[in-house]
């Protein structure tokens, strides 16, 4: 049973009311991460977490390569369809909800952030960040190598006892870091690492940090540009390069995400959520939410309530 392996933290207020799962690998597994397959995970845990589907958050990374079938998975209340050859990456803190995997097959890697060496973690920062894309589509030239490396990692994980434990763990970490670095730098996944690109990513990273602190009260690009000490144009280019979206859209996405978490996970009422997110008129919040989700806040909350025990 998975609840014996991934501990839950309960009783927290606000968005953290969504269940939090800590990492606890099977007994005998070396510290830090676990490698299995979607089909084995489903077979071992047929009563959780997809029956019934319940939103939760984890303190560790989920990384799945779909090799057969399609996998449906909700990340921060958005349903993603992951096709063969694509990777699903659910990062620590994401609100997620499983769907029955059906015919989906493929390697499934679970790892804690501190498994990575500091230098590797720094190189991977754009892709391990909370706002990085949940579904990755590597270039076809990289697909075979990535799949082979994932299968080698699975094989090494299953080889516990075949080699000295420190060698076994070093091999697992080396394979994991190689896989992540290649995945992060596959064409179409990450931008070229130019000096200008690094500067824009630094600006964008500082914007994300500021947004996380101030999205409730600051809602204009000019507010964040002033906070960061840059022009609106510089901030806009950094956001566009990093995400393909404008600053205003990113601000609204963050407010919408918080609204979904509070309405669906913490079960706050719409008026309270509106005030929490800086809307002076609950009706304006209602229009904001409906325009972006197709549902009123009350309808969204009611729908989410039917999927939770």
Look up the CATH number of domain 2-184: 2.60.120.280
Cα distances from 249 to residues 53, 63, 92, 216, in angstroms, run: 29, 27, 23, 15
pLDDT per position as a tens digit, 264-291 = 877 899 999 999 999 999 999 999 999 9
pLDDT range class, residue 131, cuts 50, 70, 90: confident
CA distance 56 to 100: 15
- pLDDT tier at 122, thresholds 50, 70, 90: confident
pTM: 0.69
Record: fold of 195-306? Arc Repressor Mutant, subunit A (1.10.10)
Confidence of residue 185 (pLDDT cuts 50, 70, 90): confident
Q: Domain extents for the chain?
A: 2-184, 195-306
In this predicted model, what pLDDT tens digit does every residue of 26-55 receive, in sequence order?
Answer: 666 667 889 999 999 888 776 555 556 677
Which candidate, 239, 209, 223, 205, places its Cα nearest to that of 278? 223
pLDDT number for residue 28: 64
């Amino acid at each position: 049973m998975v609840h014996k392996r991934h501990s839950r933290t309960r009783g927290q207020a606000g968005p953290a009311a969504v269940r939090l799962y800590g990492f606890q690998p099977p007994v005998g597994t070396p510290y830090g991460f676990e490698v299995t397959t979607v089909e084995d995970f489903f077979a071992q845990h047929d009563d959780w977490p997809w029956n019934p589907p319940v939103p939760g958050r984890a303190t560790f990374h989920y990384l799945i390569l779909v090799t057969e079938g399609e996998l449906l998975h909700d990340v921060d209340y958005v349903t993603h369809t992951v096709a063969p050859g694509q990777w699903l990456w659910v990062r620590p803190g994401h609100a997620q909800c499983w769907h029955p995997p059906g015919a989906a097959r493929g390697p499934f890697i679970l790892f804690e952030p501190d498994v990575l060496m500091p230098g590797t973690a720094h190189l991977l920062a754009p892709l391990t960040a909370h706002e990085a894309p949940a579904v990755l589509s590597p270039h076809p030239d990289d697909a075979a190598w990535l799949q082979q490396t994932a299968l080698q990692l699975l094989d090494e994980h299953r080889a516990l006892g075949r080699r000295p434990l420190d060698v076994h763990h070093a091999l697992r970490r080396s394979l994991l870091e190689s896989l992540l670095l290649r995945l992060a730098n596959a064409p179409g996944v990450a931008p070229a690492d130019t000096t200008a690109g690094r500067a824009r990513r630094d600006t964008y990273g500082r914007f994300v940090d500021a947004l996380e602190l101030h999205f409730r009260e600051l809602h204009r690009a000019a507010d964040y540009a002033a906070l960061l000490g840059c022009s609106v144009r510089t901030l806009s280019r950094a956001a566009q390069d990093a995400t393909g979206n404008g600053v205003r859209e990113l601000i609204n996405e963050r407010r919408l995400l918080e609204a979904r978490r509070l309405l669906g996970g913490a079960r706050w009422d719409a008026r309270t959520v509106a005030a929490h997110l800086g809307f002076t008129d609950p009706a304006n919040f209602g229009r904001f939410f409906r325009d972006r989700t197709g549902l009123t806040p009350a309808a969204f909350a009611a729908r989410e309530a039917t999927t939770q025990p």
